[in-house]
Chain A
Amino acid sequence: MKAVPFVAVILVMLIAGPPFLASYWVGLLTQMLIFALLAMSLDVLLGYTGLPSLGHAGFFGVAAYAVAVLSTTYHAGFWTCVMSGILIGTLLSTLLGLLVSHVRDVYFLMITLASGMVLWGLSYRWIPVTGGDNGISGIPRLDAHAGLPFAGPVAFYYVTLLVFVVSASLLALLVSSPFGFTLRGIRENELRMKSLGFNTWLHCWVSYIIAGAFASVSGVVWAYYNGFVSPTYLDLTASSELFLMVTLGGPGTLVGPVIGAGAIVLLKNVISAYTQRWPLILGTFYIITMFGAPQGLWNLGRRRRASS
């Protein structure tokens, strides 16, 4: 609950700030929110349940592809696209969850890595549907498709913010519920939870489905934001960058991934404007953070406050 004032200040800034910003920064903030939501969804698995998933960008990508295919090839309406995107991503995580929720640790890592690669391969090779390497462009603009009275980056930003706040509230509710505490119990000691009578397999499965569902939500928003999809959305680089966002920000908290996602999106875009050697600087930053704050940036701040 120590996070409340911090979150409140950030939220007020997020609501009040954008009308005064240049459109480029509004766009960057929108990106941060989309990736923050995606990172939070991964954190349900990685931080709360202790399941390191390396294929999480898959759900994000599949939902984005669903929107792209439906809106361009089939000219489907806005709500059909949105609902199908979320539904298909969630269904996929339900099915894959059946496979992966039996295994733990490095085996979980390997299977999610493989499933992520399979989804990437599908987007790359199922050319009649996905357009292969070229991806699909020409997704209608959000305001046109949804019939919004407002257009432009600021309007899109507020839609994203709304989606983000609703999703984040639901996730906050989830992790502070008895279900969320059971997940943490599984993370700490699964054997003990089993002996206490919890069906740990079922809990892992449900947490995998929930993570997939929220990843799909962010995938839908991302598809509308960019107006196109391509296989790079769900490749290994995307999944591992996502992993980095969570571990950098602070796994096992909801604020941590938001900070991680914000920091990475911001650093990538700001540093690369000044030097072509930006990957080197970013890499150094990652290593320093891992040494200085092995529990993530947000947990570092919290520990300090607790000790003072």
Chain B
Amino acid sequence: MKIADRPIADRRCFAPRRSVFVVVLLVAAGNVIVGQRPEALPIKIGFIAPLSGPNAQNGRDILNGFLLYLQEIGSGVDGRRIDVIIEDDEAIPAVGLTKTRKLVERDKVHLMAGALLSSTGYALAPYIDAMRIPMLYPVVSADDLTQRRRSKWIVRTGYSGSQPNHAFGEYAYHTLGLKKVATIALDYAFGWESVGGFQRTFEAEGGLVAQKIWCPVFVHDFAPYLAQIPRDVDAVYALFLGRSALQFMRQYQEFGLKQRVRLIGAGTTTDEHVLPFMGDEALGVVTALHYTAALDTPANRKFVAAYRARYNRVPSYYSESMYTGAKWLVTAVEVVHGNVEDSATLVDALRHVKLTDAPRGPLELDDYGNPIENVYIRRVERVNGQLQNTVIETIPRVSQFWKYNPADYLKQPLYARR
């Protein structure tokens, strides 16, 4: 019987709050004319990410970046304090949706941010659209979210899975001089899209992807997959993250492959969320991503130092994603003068933010809602005893469509397993 008592009690204390909310809206509307600031009620931002389960570390990195930026700006925006309400989506799409419903309907957040997995990203989109709540995806990289299945209310400040790999495919052929490559990657959408992007530009230049090996996401032993790698390729392209990245690197060396076949890969394979736990087996691996903690710019040096000071670890691209994401949100809120209650204007502002001093470099959105940003080709090196992703080439202003015409690009199917 407790089950039904609680909600009734909640409703009672909630009813007046709603009327306050309406009053605030009216006051805000009046203020636009008078030119005054709206009432100093807090701006409520809902945040979801996996904070338990196997993806918890990535979720925590995202959250850490978010909190670090909010700490830096301190007082809030336009006199309004920022309240963040944090929920754990357990990396399960249905849970993510339930938590988002809670944040939107019960906590009445003004905007949403977060999510890690593509599946969660897709699952939330219809609800976000129906509720007309602006949401920022700092990490979710599923290509189609800004391509064939776009949403008006979702703004992506991360990247699309194939985006850095388009650039990397061309670079691998011309600069690294590779002609024949085998790929080994996690068997899910992120893997297919990354490998697909790499293969497209690599083969367009004249290269050949000789074999594509897919490992289940919960792979425990890479031996059967490493045995399939052909010995006559110039390089192996690997896409892993988290535990699988650590284990893959170790087994690649143990199999004696490291000395014989060069290793390249997607950025997550050597991202800073796993790099500190790797050893010499990671040295020399070349990968592409839109961020590296070793990026030598004033904005990034400042970010890395602040992050290290607060969390005592090197930031990963996940950490940077929501640091920049928070900066993005705050910039948009400043544009609308803190008037976050008008979600249509807010989402418009969110789409037109341009950042020049983000840790990763400059970024802005294309017409389809995906960032145009630098892609860094990075090589793992040991500097002062620590491994880092040293930038060996910067490819500026890369779009999700690479050099292709967006309309033609969208006529082709999404990268799949094949």
Contacts and interface: CB of A to CB of B under 8 A. Distances in A.
A31 interface: yes
B88 interface: yes
Given A27-B105, A273-B102, A276-B51, A137 B123 contact: yes
Given A9-B1, A21-B7, A24-B102, A137 B125 contact: yes
B189 interface: yes
A278 B52 CA distance: 9
Contact of B98 (A22, A31, A133, A278): A31
Interface centre among B1, B6, B94, B102 (most CB of A within 10 A): B94
B10 interface: yes
A138 B126 contact: yes
Given A276-B52, A279-B52, A135 B122 contact: yes
B416 interface: yes
A133 B10 contact: no
A22 B119 contact: no
B11 A20 contact: yes
Nearest to B217: A133
A187 to B, nearest CB: 30
B3 A262 contact: yes
Given A226-B94, A230-B123, A27 B88 contact: no
A22 B87 contact: no
Contacts of A80: none
Contacts of A170: none
A232 B92 contact: yes
Nearest to A138: B126
Contacts of A10: 1
Indicate the size class of the contact surface on chain B.
Answer: 35 or more
B4 interface: yes
A279 B93 CA distance: 18
Interface in A1-38: 9-10, 13-14, 17, 20-25, 27-29, 31-32
B11 A232 contact: no
Main secondary structure of the interface of B (DSSP, over half): helix
B10 A22 contact: yes
Contact of A127 (B3, B7, B417): B417
B94 A233 contact: yes
Contacts of B105: 22-24, 27
B311 interface: no
A27 B101 contact: yes
Nearest to B94: A226
A134 B119 contact: yes
Given A24-B105, A227-B127, A276-B88, A135 B10 contact: no
B7 A135 contact: no
Nearest to A262: B3
A226 B123 contact: yes
Contacts of B94: 226, 230, 232-233
Contact of B102 (A231, A269, A279): A269
Indicate the size class of the contact surface on chain A.
Answer: 35 or more
Contacts of A14: 4
B118 to A, nearest CB: 5
B14 interface: yes
Given A24-B105, A31-B98, A133-B119, A228 B93 contact: yes
A273 B10 CA distance: 14
B4 A13 contact: yes
Interface string A263-293: 0001001001100101100000000000000
B11 A22 contact: yes
A286 B273 CA distance: 33
A132 interface: yes
Interface string B346-375: 000000000000000000000000000000
B304 interface: no
Nearest to B130: A141
A113 B106 CA distance: 38
Contacts of A137: 122-123, 125-126
Contacts of B86: 276
Interface string B118-140: 11001101110000000000000
A13 B1 contact: yes
Contact of B126 (A23, A32, A227): A227
Nearest to A21: B7
Interface in A130-149: 132-135, 137-138
A20 to B, nearest CB: 6
A137 B101 CA distance: 16
B188 interface: yes
B332 interface: no
Contacts of B417: 127, 132
Contacts of A32: 3
Contacts of B92: 232, 237
Contacts of B106: 22, 24-25
B33 interface: no
A230 B87 CA distance: 20
Contacts of B6: 25
B391 interface: no
Contacts of B88: 272, 276, 278
A133 B127 contact: no
Given A25-B7, A27-B98, A27-B101, A132 B188 contact: yes
Interface centre among A14, A133, A227 (most CB of B within 10 A): A133
B97 interface: yes
B106 to A, nearest CB: 4
Contacts of B188: 132-133
Given A132-B417, A278-B88, 5 more contacts: A25-B7, A25-B10, A25-B106, A226-B94, A273-B102
12 contacts: A14-B4, A21-B8, A22-B11, A24-B101, A29-B3, A133-B119, A134-B142, A138-B126, A226-B94, A228-B126, A230-B93, A276-B51
Interface of B: 1, 3-4, 6-8, 10-11, 14, 51-52, 86-88, 92-94, 97-99, 101-102, 105-106, 118-119, 122-123, 125-127, 142, 188-189, 217, 416-417
Interface of A: 9-10, 13-14, 17, 20-25, 27-29, 31-32, 127, 132-135, 137-138, 226-228, 230-233, 237, 262, 266, 269, 272-273, 276, 278-279
Q: 5 closest Cβ contacts across the A-B interface?
A: A25-B7, A24-B106, A24-B105, A133-B188, A21-B7
